Structure 1
Amino acid sequence: MKFVTLNNDLKIPIVGSGTNTFGKLDNQYQNELRGDTEEVDWAIENGYRHFDAATLYNNEEVVGEGIKKSGIPREDFFITTKLNTRVAYEGTDQVHKAIENSLEKLQTDYFDLYLIHFPLDDKDHILEVWAVLEEYYERGVFKSIGVSNFDEEQLQLILDNGRVKPSANQIKSNMGDWNEPQIEFHNLHNIATIAWGPLGGIDDEKKTVLEEIGEKYGKTYAQVVLRYQIERDVIVIPKSHNKERQAQSLDIFDFELTADDRARIDEL
């Protein structure tokens, strides 16, 4: 496994597992929980130690139970979760309650990374919530803090007014939109980029080219894309309900793309 060192020296595995439909009926995001942890179990068996959760996904308990019953020490895992900011903001008590609820559901007394899931509409509210995250960071309950789906202006607001620099911003970055200007801003300020939906935006034409590249290395088109991402030091969180494909997403550290490979991908 390759690791990215965050701006507070914490190391995060560059490949993690998304979880937003894990444990749900028919693998559908809006559905109820099935009552098992099958996908988490498979992921752990495959070697995943980085899990990306969120309050908004309504299944933090699935991830927490899967990790607990694995018997592997908590410190061997990197657990991320996120504050649900899709609900109306009602003040800092609401934030504290949400954090404590996530700690309980994920059966842990700390998070390796805690994110604001979406920027709030009010700049003062963004800073107010960020200040709460800073408190938990300074107490050691959060080992690192960051944001998700923030643009440059919203990040700059925190950089200008916060006490703690965000460690990461989780954004869309895939073949539909690599989001390079945003990533360049992150790099300028030593903020790690985490790509959600890292395998999105692939049509049949792009898939054909990716398969041609992968054939040289005995890799799938998805493995080629993930390799392209991590060679840019972008952290990826692919998600699969298939045990074999989960394993494939981790099996990307035994080959390197050539300059020609990367140029062909860039042209897509």
Structure 2
Amino acid sequence: MRQVPNVTLNNGVKIGQLGYGVYKVPAADSFSLVTQALEAGYRSIDTAALYANEEGVGQAVRQATGDGGPLRREDIFVTTKVWNDSQGFDSTLAAFDESLHKLELDYVDLYLIHWPCPEQDLYIETYRALERLYHDGRVRAIGVSNFEPEHLRRLLDATDVVPAVNQVELHPWLQQSEVRAFGQEAGIRTEAWSPLARGQLLEDPVLARIAAALGRSVAQVVLRWHVQLGNIVIPKASSLARIRENRNIFDFMLDDGAMADIAALDRGHRAGSDPARVN
């Protein structure tokens, strides 16, 4: 299997373009599944305070990088996020301490604001806490999740550190062209959560036709589409077979015709929540 390529964030830090997401991975399964993902060649792991599985993620990372382990800590990129009820400067610093305690790691590679929560109107204050963590060297990069261009414009005007990443729902039925264009102009990398629309895409006839022609699964075609667009992508998987299948996307290409057919699938369909309505 080919190595997962890295992309470089705006501060020079590198992250694997394909990561392993653990949203809705039960706490009891997180250690074993993250361990399997690391063994399969993933080097980026995405968790969050909300997911209640930071302990298992940290345990897997520590085992892989401890005495006799096959990896070094700097080989693994760990992302976590501050949840909505912890927004605000002091609350965010406390939430980060709690996440780091659960992970039992010396630092986090990427720390994100999970949702802008516009009605709370705390994301500027929250981001300033992230800037403090960044300047103190406790995180290697900071960013946001589910931010729309209007939120990003305000954030950029009010703070100093340009977010390294904006993690958003993104898939062929919700291609987020405005968000991606804004990020590209501002130097913010776009990272796709729910890259398969929570499995809804797996029955799409256009994707099925492309997959059949290539002898690949629909999931592999969609993840390959993300990679060719330049997105960072973090699919969830609940079995070793699916972990390996999702990982095996770097030995084929989608041609211009397939990319155009997938581009035509955009319908503004969200499988998850609308950022304007999460508070």
Q: TM-score, normalised by structure 2?
A: 0.86
Q: Is 1:112–2:109 an aligned residue pair?
A: yes
Which residue type is aligned with residue 45 of structure 1?
E
What SS does the corresponding residue of 1:202 show, helix, strand or coil? helix
CA distance in 1, matches of 2:264, 2:83: 36
Correspondent of 1:18 among 21, 26, 29: 21
Q: Is 1:154–2:148 an aligned residue pair?
A: no
Shift of 1:265: 1.4
Q: Which residue of 1 aligns with 2:75?
A: 76
Which residue type is aligned with residue 59 of structure 1?
N
Which residue type is aligned with residue 69 of structure 1?
Q
Q: How does 1:91-102 map to 2 (within 5 A)?
A: 91-102=88-99
Structure 1 residue ranges without an equivalent (≥5): 25-32
Shift of 1:122: 5.5
CA distance in 1, matches of 2:149, 2:91: 26
CA distance in 2, matches of 1:195, 1:19: 13
Note the aligned Cα RMSD (angstroms).
Answer: 1.7
Q: How does 1:97-246 map to 2 (within 5 A)?
A: 97-121=94-118, 125-200=122-197, 201-202=200-201, 204=203, 206=204, 208-246=205-243
Q: TM-score, normalised by structure 1?
A: 0.90
Shift of 1:216: 3.6
Q: Which residue of 2 aligns with 1:2?
A: 5
Q: Which residue of 1 aligns with 2:271?
A: none
CA distance in 2, matches of 1:161, 1:124: 13
Aligned-residue identity in percent: 39
Which residue type is aligned with residue 212 of structure 1?
R
What SS does the corresponding residue of 1:238 show, helix, strand or coil? coil
Deviations 1:33-90 (A, max 9, x none): 43762211211111111000100111110111111122232111000000011x264x
Which residue type is aligned with residue 56 of structure 2?
V
Correspondent of 2:48 among 44, 54, 57: 54
Kindly tell me: are residues 11 and 35 of structure 1, through their superposed partners in 2, closer, same or farther at Cα, counting changes over 3 Å?
Answer: closer
CA distance in 2, matches of 1:243, 1:35: 12
Deviations 1:191-222 (A, max 9, x none): 10000000114163x2x332332234332111
Q: Which residue of 2 aligns with 1:30?
A: none
CA distance in 2, matches of 1:266, 1:120: 30
Kindly tell me: are residues 134 and 36 of structure 1, through their superposed partners in 2, closer, same or farther at Cα, counting changes over 3 Å?
Answer: closer
Please identify runs of 4+ aligned residues in structure 1 that moved more than 4 A: none
CA distance in 2, matches of 1:34, 1:8: 35
**How many correspondences in the alignment?**
255
CA distance in 2, matches of 1:36, 1:84: 19
